[in-house]
Amino acid sequence: MRAVKDKNKYLNLISSTEARIFNKVDLTGFVSVNSLNEREQYIAEELYKKDVLQKIQKGEQVGYKIYPQKEKI
């Protein structure tokens, strides 16, 4: 289990399998839908529905980014 912030700055608990996808997106900054296998696409879509990931279009690719986890003071 891991706690991450969603787009409204609320903490959400995600499972270890969801955390693997979240970390993958966090480390690369942007992950294309085409680079994910079917299982990872399903998990990423569920994280998008929970407002943990944001779906964006970068050029001609559709993919996922995380919402900022840190706040500016």
List the beta strands (DSSP E) in 1-73: 2-5, 11-14, 31-32, 53-58, 61-66
Domain boundaries, given as residue ranges, for the chain = 2-66
Partner residues linked to 39 by β-bridges: none
Inter-residue contact 19 to 2 (CB < 8 Å): yes
Residue 71 and residue 63: Cα distance in Å, rounded? 24
CATH architecture label of 2-66: Orthogonal Bundle (1.10)
pLDDT, one tens digit for every residue, the chain (73 residues)? 999 999 998 999 999 999 999 999 999 999 999 999 999 999 999 999 999 999 999 899 999 999 988 776 6
Phi and psi for 46 in degrees, rounded to 5? -65, -40
Q: What are the tokens at 44? A: 């990423």
The pTM assigned to this predicted structure is: 0.87
